[in-house]
A and B are shown apart, each in its own frame.
Chain A
Amino acid sequence: MLNQLTKSVGRVVRAAAIAAVIGGGIAAASAQDITGACATFPGPIYTKWGEQYKATGAGALNYQAVGSGAGVTQIINRTVDFGASDTPVASERLASNNLLQFPAVIGAVVVVVNIPGVDGANLKLNGAVIADIYQGRIRMWNAKEIKDLNPGVTLPAVAIAPAYRADSSGTTNIFTSYLASVSLPFQTNVGAGNSVPWKTGVGAPGNAGVAAAVKNTKGGIGYVEYAYATENGMQAPMLENRAKKFVKPTVAGFNAAASQANWNNAPNMAASMLNMSGDTTWPIVSATYVLVPKNPSDPVRAANVLKFFDWAFKSGGPAADQLHYIALPKAVQDQVRKKWTTISANGQPVWK
């Protein structure tokens, strides 16, 4: 009995070993694959692009949404082919780590709410009120400040439950930069950055985590990239823009902001699109950035990354529209391609 069992197990182990060797032999076919550690803000569009790119047969994108902070760290450690961050990385840090930064696509941050009995999509909010909510100064949905913005709307006496990003996040940076620009108290008490000392609320990981937290909390409020709001069927209130008009989050509104970006004078192509003028302009819009090594050790893999984004610039527009992202203007795309020519491996340019 014992002997039989020993023998049969031995046979299984041998079969498994052989299978593993064969499996290893079949592998290694997918040399075109590229790996990115990325912000979650552009997650939906990068994943979609990756899928369409794979369908063209050019190669596959392995996109792992880890948050902006981690995305930058991994490309600095050179453990991935590209990193992505919604926060432009400072020039000195780019230089000291030999990184090239370029914008890939433009998206918008919206506020999402979950207020029982209230149509959140038609609620009106402004930067000052949101800043006060996130500082714990406005605690109830029927507070005077919110009522004043929404005459005629019956607001329930429900406590406000703010949610914020627990990880180091570019979305947080975009959102807090906007709040700090419209609220002096917020700027002094909380400030802008990838992670800030929030005065109230609960933390959740990733855009998806914040969306889930708001969805599951009565009286919840949070901030996410617009695709997360639409795909999750969440209510995004109107915001007051610089022209003192209340606007709904629409692609037209995002476009109005994106079209005003001053790309030519922006260092490292980090052009601001926050709180732009215009009656229809959505106030919280930003580009998201890709980081690649300037001196890649593997020129083929580096070229594959550039090929992917070149394809995305050329053919990724429809997918961007579908997910409510804004493709980069053509002139900016050409500017980015020109920057790619500065990348070289062993003295040879990677992008020709």
Chain B
Amino acid sequence: MRTLSPAVKARYFRRQAADLIMSGLCIVAAIIGIIMLALILWMLFSKGLTGLSLDVFTKSMSSTGTGGGLANAIVGSLIQVGIGSMIGAPLGMMVGVYLSEVGKTSPFASVVRFVNDILLSAPSVLIGLFVYQIAVSPFGGFSGIAGALALALLAMPVVARTTEDILRLVPQAYRDGAIALGSRENEVVRKVILPAAFGGILTGILLAVARIAGETAPLIFTSLGNSNWSTDLTKPMASLPIAIYRYAGSPSADLVQLAWTGALLITVGVLLLNVVSRVSLAAVKRGQS
């Protein structure tokens, strides 16, 4: 065995120590993150589960003293998030395809990419105010469709970004091969690139859906909230985040309970979406290999 000089030994131990400290810090940070999530989930389950009953799903919101549920808020959220995703996801996908396959590094694509990144990080309350100005004020009233529009604007940049990133991961050989076989550019995108990246794009869409499902600020200025059952898109519409927002600060214990239950429902829903997106991605990957 070769003997090391003292200077080299000292450096070795110093590096070992630095490595130990840094990995220790990383592990602590990771544990703190996990503990936070666990605490939030624990709090939600312990406080939210007690209020979970059939009434929550079958009855609409009601004033204190006579019970009530969250049926209108759940359905309102589903409608607005559903329409928001149906508008935002295809738009975002098209932007992503343009950036990755058509525009690439052209000046216009760079501008689009830059604007998309700004949209991505814009405070959601600004999106709400924007939609308030274009879709609420001029039409004389808050409406479910305005809420869906605000959510679509929030989902679009997320989907655009992930679509572009995922498409870039598709090997260049796929494109070259398809072109060599005589495909047109649109056929390359439709029949080769998109199917190959499908799982990743789906994950991006599901993550965008999960994000907009929990948004409160853009809905306050657009769909306002509704204490009654309503599926009319031209009228104010209830949603889970707004129900939580209005009920959490309530002096009445049963409304606070409903807020906890609503928070649990959203969290579980978003968590499920995340899990589903990951599992489906894994399944797609297995299918490819």
Asked if A and B are interacting partners, one says: yes
Contacts A50-B227, A51-B66 known; A5 to B232 CB distance under 8 Å?
A: no
CB 8 Å contact bits of A1-35 with B (1 = contact, 0 = none): 11101100100000011001001101111100101
Chain A residues, CB < 8 A from B79: 20, 23
Asked if A35 contacts B232 (CB within 8 A), the reply is no
Q: Residue of B at shortest CB range from A227?
A: B251
State whether the Cβ of B33 lies closer than 8 Å to any Cβ in chain A. no
Asked if A2 contacts B198 (CB within 8 A), the reply is yes
Asked if B249 contacts A209 (CB within 8 A), the reply is yes
Minimum Cβ distance to chain A for residue B285 (Å): 10
Question: How many residues of A are in contact with the other chain, CB < 8 A?
Answer: 47
Query: Which B residues from 123 to 142 make CB contacts under 8 A with A?
Result: 136-137, 140-142
Q: Spot the interface stretch: A61-69, A176-184, A255-263.
A: A61-69
Contacts A9-B202, A79-B136, A79-B137 known; A2 to B287 CB distance under 8 Å?
A: yes
Asked if B284 contacts A5 (CB within 8 A), the reply is yes
Query: Which B residues from 158 to 214 make CB contacts under 8 A with A?
Result: 195, 198-199, 202
Asked if B227 contacts A47 (CB within 8 A), the reply is yes
Contacts A1-B283, A212-B251 known; A33 to B227 CB distance under 8 Å?
A: no
Asked if B227 contacts A63 (CB within 8 A), the reply is yes
Within the complex, which residue of B199, B250, B286 is in contact with A208, where a contact is CB–CB below 8 Å? B250
Question: A47 to B60, alpha carbons, bound, how many Å?
Answer: 13
Chain A residues, CB < 8 A from B229: 30
State whether the Cβ of A299 lies closer than 8 Å to any Cβ in chain B. no
Q: Residue of A at shortest CB range from B220?
A: A66
Question: A80 to B137, alpha carbons, bound, how many Å?
Answer: 10
State whether the Cβ of B83 lies closer than 8 Å to any Cβ in chain A. yes
State whether the Cβ of B63 lies closer than 8 Å to any Cβ in chain A. yes
Asked if A33 contacts B228 (CB within 8 A), the reply is yes
State whether the Cβ of A48 lies closer than 8 Å to any Cβ in chain B. yes
Q: Residue of A at shortest CB range from B75?
A: A23
State whether the Cβ of A37 lies closer than 8 Å to any Cβ in chain B. yes
Question: A207 to B233, alpha carbons, bound, how many Å?
Answer: 31
Minimum Cβ distance to chain A for residue B93 (Å): 12
Query: Which A residues from 168 to 210 make CB contacts under 8 A with B?
Result: 205-209
Contacts A35-B224, A79-B136 known; A5 to B249 CB distance under 8 Å?
A: no
Asked if B287 contacts A1 (CB within 8 A), the reply is yes
Question: A321 to B181, alpha carbons, bound, how many Å?
Answer: 82
Question: A273 to B12, alpha carbons, bound, how many Å?
Answer: 83
Asked if B82 contacts A20 (CB within 8 A), the reply is yes
Question: A51 to B250, alpha carbons, bound, how many Å?
Answer: 18
Asked if B64 contacts A231 (CB within 8 A), the reply is yes
Minimum Cβ distance to chain A for residue B80 (Å): 11
Minimum Cβ distance to chain A for residue B286 (Å): 8
State whether the Cβ of A265 lies closer than 8 Å to any Cβ in chain B. no
State whether the Cβ of B235 lies closer than 8 Å to any Cβ in chain A. yes
Minimum Cβ distance to chain B for residue A102 (Å): 22
Minimum Cβ distance to chain B for residue A299 (Å): 13
State whether the Cβ of A120 lies closer than 8 Å to any Cβ in chain B. no
Within the complex, which residue of A24, A30, A54, A80 is in contact with B233, where a contact is CB–CB below 8 Å? A24
Question: A24 to B86, alpha carbons, bound, how many Å?
Answer: 15
Asked if B250 contacts A16 (CB within 8 A), the reply is no
CB 8 Å contact bits of A27-60 with B (1 = contact, 0 = none): 1111001010100000010011011001000001
Query: Which A residues from 106 to 150 make CB contacts under 8 A with B?
Result: none
Chain B residues, CB < 8 A from A23: 79, 231
State whether the Cβ of A342 lies closer than 8 Å to any Cβ in chain B. no
State whether the Cβ of A250 lies closer than 8 Å to any Cβ in chain B. no
State whether the Cβ of A337 lies closer than 8 Å to any Cβ in chain B. no
Chain A residues, CB < 8 A from B233: 24, 27
Asked if B195 contacts A6 (CB within 8 A), the reply is yes
Chain A residues, CB < 8 A from B3: none
Asked if B141 contacts A79 (CB within 8 A), the reply is yes
CB 8 Å contact bits of A69-87 with B (1 = contact, 0 = none): 0000000011110000000
Minimum Cβ distance to chain B for residue A350 (Å): 16
Minimum Cβ distance to chain B for residue A54 (Å): 7
Question: A51 to B60, alpha carbons, bound, how many Å?
Answer: 11
Within the complex, which residue of A3, A51, A208 is in contact with B249, where a contact is CB–CB below 8 Å? A208
State whether the Cβ of B236 lies closer than 8 Å to any Cβ in chain A. yes
Asked if A228 contacts B251 (CB within 8 A), the reply is yes
Within the complex, which residue of B140, B224, B226, B251 is in contact with A78, where a contact is CB–CB below 8 Å? B140
Q: Residue of B at shortest CB range from A234?
A: B251
Asked if B231 contacts A232 (CB within 8 A), the reply is no
Question: A206 to B249, alpha carbons, bound, how many Å?
Answer: 8
Q: Residue of B at shortest CB range from A213?
A: B249
Chain B residues, CB < 8 A from A61: 227-228
Question: A24 to B144, alpha carbons, bound, how many Å?
Answer: 11
Q: List, sorted by A's number, 7 A–B pairs whose CB atoms are closer than 8 Å.
A: A1-B284, A2-B198, A2-B284, A5-B284, A27-B232, A30-B232, A78-B140
Interface residues of A (CB under 8 A from B): 1-3, 5-6, 9, 16-17, 20, 23-24, 26-30, 33, 35, 37, 44, 47-48, 50-51, 54, 60-65, 77-80, 205-209, 211-212, 228, 231-232, 297-298
Interface residues of B (CB under 8 A from A): 62-64, 66, 79, 82-83, 86, 136-137, 140-142, 195, 198-199, 202, 224-236, 246, 249-252, 280, 283-284, 286-288
Inter-chain pairs besides A5-B280, A77-B137, A79-B141, 16 sampled, C-beta below 8 Å: A1-B286, A1-B288, A2-B199, A3-B195, A5-B283, A17-B86, A20-B82, A23-B79, A30-B232, A37-B224, A44-B63, A47-B63, A50-B227, A79-B136, A228-B251, A231-B251
